[in-house]
Structure 1
Amino acid sequence: MTDTTQPYGTPDQPRLAVRGEARLQFDPETARLSITVSARGKDRRAALEDLTRRNTTVLELARSYGEAIEELETGALSITPELHQRGRDEKVRAYHGRVHITAVLNDFTALGELTTRIGDLDMTRIDGPWWALRPDSPAHGEARRQAVHEAVQRAREYAAALGAQLAALVELADLGAENTPPPAYARSAYGGALPAPAGAAPDAAPALDLEPQQQTVHAQVNARFIMTPPKL
């Protein structure tokens, strides 16, 4: 029976510790847009009505793209009074309303068209896109498998340099399991902001040609092996 209780191995059963790493590039799977709808009016009710109407316009436009929209969520909504102070009196000068919407798309052809159409709406701001992989994307598993293969290959090369061979795997640990900061598995890109004009153009603007930015998937593992006695 192999004794693996020795933390540093023995002359007859030396231990070998290596790190395997993989950094792969994948096409993004989703793109996220952040949309801010605004309204301003001297009357609270009027500002709220304008905000509701513009919010409905954006939601209906996004829903018209069907399955290309993977997620559509409404975030924070606010109605804020703007005070105008004269002497000792504080009076409300206007009311500002905002509502934030998040849209996640999986069809990048529709993305360019939707971005242009939303950016063409009155009092509407659009930011993005942020490209990403899904949390359950096969890309993450592929990177982890390659990291393990790289660790085994590296260990074999070290053992071969000593005239030895790998005998057994003692431990395989993800870096996050060893109380070290886990690597960032995907790099998201910020595509910039597209503030809408004050009013819609009379003719529809051409769809933006948005080039998806590849995502970097990074995986690291620590591996410890027992090898045969080296030939020194």
Structure 2
Amino acid sequence: MRFGLMIVAALVSLPLLGFAQEAERRLTVTGEGRIEAVPDMATISLGVTAEARTAGEAIRANSRAMDAVLERLRAAGIEDRDLQTSNFSVHPRWERANSSNAAPRIAGFVAQNMLTVRVRDLSVLGETLDAVAQDGANSFSGLSFGLQDPEPVRDQARVAAVAEARRKAALLAEAAGVTLGPLLSIDEADGGGRPPIMMEMAEARMSSADAVPVAAGELSMTARIRLVYAIGE
């Protein structure tokens, strides 16, 4: 009976051993592809801050200035779909009394309205920034560049990443004295490509002589692809 159990155990272990050996005869490589592209869109975070004696007066002053900013942006060709209020707040401005024992008092109210703007025509970016500043935009908290349609550039990065992974696989197989078998799996190592990052910016002044100087530079789109090959006999 014991002899029979040993035979059964050996028979069960054979396919497991074969599976382990098959799993070990694999080559996994990762390739990275990087493509540079000139941005064709900018995203601005700007706003209007107004202060007045009462909250209502602060809101009205803020609204008048923001209406002028929005009108200027629309006149520059910015569509409503590219204008989005990102934050609106009203809060008191406290003032400390001369006496250290006296409690602070409300000296006025501050109203702030922040707007996120997408500029799809970079040729008007500089003059648009200058114009909205003159119309009342007195808060700027961010400017970033991007691509309106990043997928074609991301696909180029993926193709470059696959080519790099295949090159590395062939190089490693040759160095190890083995042959590459069939491709077993392929996947994106970073789950769909990295977001674009800014490269070194080159000077790119906008068309208006009075415009704010803006450097658009380049974006770098990166993808990482993992390939798994079987190792041939």
Moved over 4 A (4+): 67-70, 85-90
Structure 1 residues 36-74: Cα deviation after superposition (integer angstroms, max 9, x where no partner): 201111122221111000011111111112257861111
Specify the alignment match of 2:70 in structure 1.
59
Once the two structures are superposed, residues 96-153 of structure 1 have per-residue CA deviations (whole angstroms, 9 ceiling, x without a partner) of: 1100001011111111110111223346222442112347431111111110111112
Structure 2 counterpart of 1:103, one-letter code: V
Query: 1:39–1:123: 8 Å Cα contact kept in structure 2?
Result: no
Q: Name the larger-Rg structure.
A: 2
- Structure 1 contact 22–146 (Cα < 8 Å) conserved: yes
Letter in 2 for 1:147: A
TM-score of the aligned structures, taking structure 1 as reference length: 0.76
Count of aligned residue pairs for this structure pair: 206
The one-letter amino acid paired with 1:98 is Q
Unpaired segments of 5 or more residues in structure 1? 192-203
Distance 2:79 2:214 in 1: 15
Partner of 2:41: 30
Query: 1:46 aligns to what SS in structure 2?
Result: helix
Provide the identity percentage.
22
One-letter amino acid of the counterpart of residue 110, structure 2: H
CA distance in 1, matches of 2:116, 2:197: 19
Deviations 1:3-32 (A, max 9, x none): xx8456379xx4222111112211113211
The residue that corresponds to 2:204 in the other structure is: none
Contact in 2 for aligned 1:69/1:103 (Cα 8 Å): no
For the Cα contact (< 8 Å) 1:140–1:217, is it kept in 2?
Answer: yes
- 1:9 aligned counterpart, secondary structure: helix
Structure 1 contact 75–102 (Cα < 8 Å) conserved = yes
Tell whether 2:133 aligns with 1:119.
yes
Change over 3 Å in CA distance of 1:123–1:169 after alignment to 2 = closer
Secondary structure of 1:186 counterpart: strand
Q: TM-score, normalised by structure 2?
A: 0.76
Matched residue, 1:172: 186
What 5-or-longer segments of structure 2 have no aligned partner?
Answer: 1-17, 202-207
User: Within the alignment, does 1:75 sit opposite 2:86 as a pair?
Assistant: yes
The whole-number CA distance in structure 2 between the counterparts of 1:142 and 1:123 is 39
AA aligned to 2:216 is P
